Amino acid sequence: MNELLELVLHTDEVLMRIVAANLTEAYVILFLIIFSETGLLIFPFLPGDGLLFSAGVISASTALNIVWLVPILILAAILGNLTNYFVGTFFGHRLEKSRNRFIRKYLIPYIRRTRQFYDQYGAKSIVIGRFFPVIRTYIPFFAGLSGFKYSVFLIFTIIGSLLWVPFFTLAGYFIGENAWVKENYLLIFLGLIIVTLLPFFYNVIKILFTKRIRRKR
């Protein structure tokens, strides 16, 4: 647990140590982190965007090969989404078949509303959601839960992964050696997290504010 916390707080330093110690282990750990952040509901706090950027920066000056790194992380992102989708599908099927009064009264209507959302915005949300921490962890789960069409989900999961991974990884690779970037790396890392989280918090505040206005009426 301490190692995981250290990775979240000091991503670049921890990655440098892992790469120096064992290159194969570095690829495996990077794969597992991206897979877990996108595929397991309990790990939305893992450093997705920052990790990709850090991996790109480190690959520019170490044996970590960008040619191998990008496809490995794209695969991790795709498999993570698919795992999350199938977990959601598993629970969705069982909830809809349930005869429990609470589930039928409160959860089934929620699933139906979620299905309507995905029918209208599903493709966009899968691609755009890739660029927002926390949101990208839950979008595939709720897509599966609501019964969103698998073939469409797969296509846009691949598109989203092909855009998300290279964007941050190659950005780190090509500008990471810049002197100013090196001196202000921590600031850039934190900035990436804040910028990608802003739309999420904006929408949360907007929803809460809208609900408050409706209650007053």
| Whole-number pLDDT of residue 124 | 80
**What's the average model confidence in pLDDT over 77-97?**
88
Phi-psi region of 100 (alpha: psi -120 to 50; beta: other; left: phi over 0): beta
- Asked whether residue 110 carries a pLDDT value surpassing 80, the answer given is no
Token pair recorded at residue 9 = 């707080």
Reduced to 3 states, what is the DSSP secondary structure of residue 122? helix
- Asked whether residue 56 carries a pLDDT value surpassing 80, the answer given is yes
Rounded Cα gap, residues 108 and 117, in angstroms: 14
160-202 pLDDT per residue, tens: 999 999 988 998 888 766 666 656 655 665 666 666 556 555 5
- Asked whether residue 93 carries a pLDDT value surpassing 80, the answer given is no
Q: How many angstroms separate the first and last alpha carbons of the chain?
A: 48
The number of domains in the chain is 1
- Asked whether residue 213 carries a pLDDT value surpassing 60, the answer given is no
Number of C-beta neighbours around residue 132 at 10 A: 19
| Whole-number pLDDT of residue 83 | 95
Q: pTM for the whole thing?
A: 0.78
Phi-psi region of 73 (alpha: psi -120 to 50; beta: other; left: phi over 0): alpha
**What's the average model confidence in pLDDT over 107-122?**
71
**What's the average model confidence in pLDDT over 56-68?**
89
Domain that holds residue 189: 2-216
| Whole-number pLDDT of residue 157 | 94
- Asked whether residue 214 carries a pLDDT value surpassing 80, the answer given is no
127-142 pLDDT per residue, tens: 888 887 778 888 899 8
**What's the average model confidence in pLDDT over 12-26?**
84
- Asked whether residue 148 carries a pLDDT value surpassing 80, the answer given is yes
**What pLDDT band is residue 60 in, cutting at 50, 70 and 90?**
confident
Residue showing tokens 């899968």: 126
